Chain A
Amino acid sequence: MIDKIFLNMTRTSALLILFIVAWIFVVLFNQSTEAMQTFGLDFITKDEWAPNVDKFGAYAAIFGSVASTFLAMLLSIPVAIGVAIFLSEIAHDKIKGFFGVSIELLAAIPSVIYGMWGLFFFVPILRDLFGGMGISLLAAGIVLAIMILPFMAAVTRDAMNTTPDILKESAYALGGTQWDVIKDVIIPYAKAGIIGSLILALGRAIGETMAVTFVMGNVHHTPSSIMDPTTSIPVTLANEFTEADSSLYFSSLFGLALTLLIMSFVVIAIAKFYFLRKVRKGQ
Chain B
Amino acid sequence: MTATQKRIIINKIALGFSTLSAIIALGFLFWILSVLVMKGIDALNWNIFIFEGSPPGYEDSGLKHALVGQVILIGLATMIGVPLGIMAGTYLSEYGKSSKLAHTIRDISDIMMSAPSIVVGAFVYAVVVMPMGHFSAWAGAIALAIIMIPIILRTTDDMLQLVPHTLREAAFALGAPKYKVIMDVVYRGAKAGILTGVLLGIARVGGETAPLLFTSFNDNFFTTDLNEAMPSLTVTMFNYAISPYEDWQQLGWAAAFILSMFILGLNIFGRLILHFGKRK
Contact = CB atoms under 8 A, between A and B. Distances in A.
Nearest to B257: A113
11 contacts: A13-B88, A27-B127, A80-B25, A85-B18, A91-B22, A99-B26, A110-B263, A112-B207, A113-B256, A113-B259, A210-B210
Interface residues of A, number: 88
A111 B204 CA distance: 11
The main secondary structure of chain A at its interface with chain B is helix
Interface string B231-271: 00010011001100000010011001001100110011001
Given A113-B256, A178-B15, A238-B210, A17 B112 contact: yes
Interface string A50-68: 0000000000000000000
The main secondary structure of chain B at its interface with chain A is helix
Contact of B234 (A31, A110, A179): A110
B105 A17 contact: yes
A204 interface: yes
Interface of A: 2-3, 5-7, 9-18, 20-21, 23-24, 27-28, 31, 78-83, 85-87, 90-91, 99, 101-102, 104-106, 108-117, 119-121, 146, 149-150, 153, 177-180, 182-183, 200, 203-204, 206-210, 213-214, 234, 237-238, 241-242, 253-254, 257, 260-261, 264-265, 268-269, 272-273
A179 B10 contact: yes
B120 A24 contact: yes
Given A2-B179, A117-B35, A105 B213 contact: no
Nearest to A121: B35
B105 A18 contact: yes
Query: Among A200, A203, A261, which residue has the most Cβ atoms of chain B within 10 A?
Result: A261
Contact of B122 (A11, A241, A268): A241
B11 A234 contact: no
Contacts of B260: 109-110, 113
B150 A17 contact: yes
B116 interface: yes
Given A17-B149, A146-B29, A210-B238, A7 B104 contact: no
